Amino acid sequence: SQQGEEDPQALSIQEGENATMNCSYKTSINNLQWYRQNSGRGLVHLILIRSNEREKHSGRLRVTLDTSKKSSSLLITASRAADTASYFCATAVSGSARQLTFGSGTQLTVLP
Amino acid sequence: NAGVTQTPKFQVLKTGQSMTLQCAQDMNHNSMYWYRQDPGMGLRLIYYSASEGTTDKGEVPNGYNVSRLNKREFSLRLESAAPSQTSVYFCASSPAGQFGHQPQHFGDGTRLSIL
């Protein structure tokens, strides 16, 4: 079963623009994580936000978490061609923290 | 700076054959995981190992077995491969701590095709 669902499934933007991806989930979580996957490679952890946090920044990344709406967003500012990748959210479910549950991902294409 | 190393990178099998996917990490992590990734889907957990000597089933364990050989190595075995097991397999590891509360570090995957 997929706990997190990303939206949109695919996003194409010009270099320099901002990219926003959303993640919705179904049950209470302990934390939510975002990962990037370049074509043919493994996932790389980007940022972790805990359920008692509302916003977190890391370089050009900004993640928000709204536990009342069970949703999170990932904003990449001033995008670059190198940001082209698939982005996944993953949730650690409260009370059952034995695994991360991944969404199906957003494919981001940044055009030069 | 090897991180998580998976072998082989590619493999083609015939239905009914068996094989073992190898995974090793050099970060002294306690927990290790095996996932499969199918087109258009996120990762699904097959098995995980909280620490050396323990293994537990994930979401999709049927048709697979695992061995936590030591703290560094965690292998995944397909005893009798089926076409439905065609997928990309990822191994991951994470430091000690409550599961799901630590970032996971991934290998680059094994692309497995079963004819």
Q: What is the pLDDT of residues B101-111, one digit of tens each?
A: 789 999 999 99
Nearest to B109 among A42, A97, A101 (CB): A42
Residue A97 tokens read as: 């923290």
Min distance A64 CA to chain B CA atoms (Å): 17
**In this predicted model, what pLDDT tens digit does every residue of A25-42 receive, in sequence order?**
998 888 899 999 999 999
How far apart are alpha carbons B32 and B68 in whole angstroms? 9
Q: Which residues of A touch B (CB under 8 A)?
A: 1-2, 4, 30-31, 33, 40-45, 48, 88, 90, 92-93, 97-105
To the nearest whole angstrom, how far is the Cα of A27 from the nearest Cα of chain B?
Answer: 15
Instruction: Give the integer Cα–Cα distance in Å for A28 and B65.
Output: 31
At residue A1, the pLDDT reads 46
Per-residue pLDDT at A2 exceeds 60: no
Burial class (CB in 10 A: 0-12, 13-18, 19+), B40: exposed
Assign B18 to helix, strand or coil.
coil
